């Protein structure tokens, strides 16, 4: 009798567990395998071309253009000389939500991602080399594990990057509502491995920084799926 009671109790426990975890298991299946057909591909807004600009990275100062970053995913921002205290972007969320991921995964999935920041003054104007190097020193002291290979500084007029249209709208606007009165002080652009614009967002808040991180993950997933198809 005791053995039968133990068996019935065990069956009731298994049933209870299946009722509790059954829906969760279904959701896990949908999230991992069942949602492939719903994979969202980022829109392609066309090629971004630039003339040569000066880059300060792990190799020192180099003259490059965006074409030199083909086969890499690039995030483009501006960075004001008034940072980190007064910035067009949410500076610390940028370092924690995007740069930290690049640094900790630089030999894994995010090894092909680079962050390019055009150093400007508070009004969005190009700055001198000494001012740019001051910002580089600031990053070294304020950003944990700052790596100039991953987060590269650019000396250029930001208009050569941002003089574009997205969904029929110009990216460059002058308005007092923007930091320094110009829109590109707050914008983050996501470029794919062919220098095509895939997303542009206002990065003035932590929420939008997180949203750009999600779009970056989508683009990486797209490349992963394409690579997997080639291997099949």
Is the pLDDT at 21 greater than 90, yes or no? Answer: no
Per-residue confidence band for 97, with pLDDT thresholds at 50, 70 and 90: very high
Report how far residue 7's alpha carbon sits from residue 141's, in angstroms, rounded to the nearest whole number: 64
Is domain 53-231 classified as CATH 3.30.70.2470?
no
Domain ranges of the chain: 2-38, 53-231
pLDDT at 61: 97
Q: What is the mean pLDDT of the chain?
A: 85
pLDDT score, position 17: 35
Mean pLDDT calculated for residue range 7-28:
43
pLDDT, residue 1, reads: 54
Highest mean pLDDT among 27-41, 162-176, 208-222: 208-222
Q: Work out the pLDDT band at 108, boundaries 50, 70, 90.
A: confident
Q: Which residues are 118's β-sheet partners?
A: 78, 154
- The radius of gyration of the chain's CA atoms, rounded to the nearest angstrom, is 23
The answer, yes or no, to whether residue 110 has pLDDT greater than 80, is no
Strands, sheet with 113-120, edge to edge from the N-terminal-most edge strand: 60-64, 53-57, 151-155, 113-120, 73-80, 187-191, 197-202
The CA angle 207-69-119, to the nearest 5 degrees, is 55
Reduced to 3 DSSP states, what percent helix, strand and coil does the chain have, rounded to the nearest 5? 45, 20, 30
**At residue 24, does pLDDT exceed 70?**
no
Confidence at residue 141, expressed as pLDDT on a 0 to 100 scale: 97
**Residues 17-43, mean pLDDT to the nearest whole number:** 46
Confidence of residue 28 (pLDDT cuts 50, 70, 90): very low
């Amino acid at each position: 009798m005791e053995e039968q009671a133990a068996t019935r109790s065990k069956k009731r426990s298994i049933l209870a567990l299946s009722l509790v975890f059954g829906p969760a298991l279904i959701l896990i299946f949908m999230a991992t395998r069942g949602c492939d057909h719903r994979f969202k591909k980022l829109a392609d807004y066309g090629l971004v071309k630039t003339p040569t600009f000066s880059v300060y990275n792990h190799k020192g100062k180099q003259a490059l253009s965006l074409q030199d970053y083909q086969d890499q995913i690039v995030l483009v921002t501006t960075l004001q000389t008034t940072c980190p205290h007064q910035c067009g972007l949410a500076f610390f969320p940028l370092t924690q939500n995007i740069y930290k991921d690049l640094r900790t995964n630089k030999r894994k999935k995010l090894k092909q991602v680079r962050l390019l920041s055009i150093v400007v003054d508070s009004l969005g104007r190009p700055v001198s080399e000494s001012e740019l190097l001051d910002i580089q020193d600031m990053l070294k002291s304020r950003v944990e594990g700052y790596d100039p290979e991953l987060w590269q500084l650019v000396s250029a007029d930001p208009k050569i990057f941002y003089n574009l249209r997205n969904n029929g709208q110009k990216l460059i606007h002058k308005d007092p509502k923007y930091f320094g009165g110009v829109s590109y002080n707050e914008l983050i652009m996501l470029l794919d491995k062919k220098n095509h614009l895939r997303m542009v967002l206002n990065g003035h808040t932590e929420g939008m920084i997180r949203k750009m991180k999600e779009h970056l993950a989508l683009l990486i997933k797209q490349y992963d799926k394409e690579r997997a198809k080639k291997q099949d």
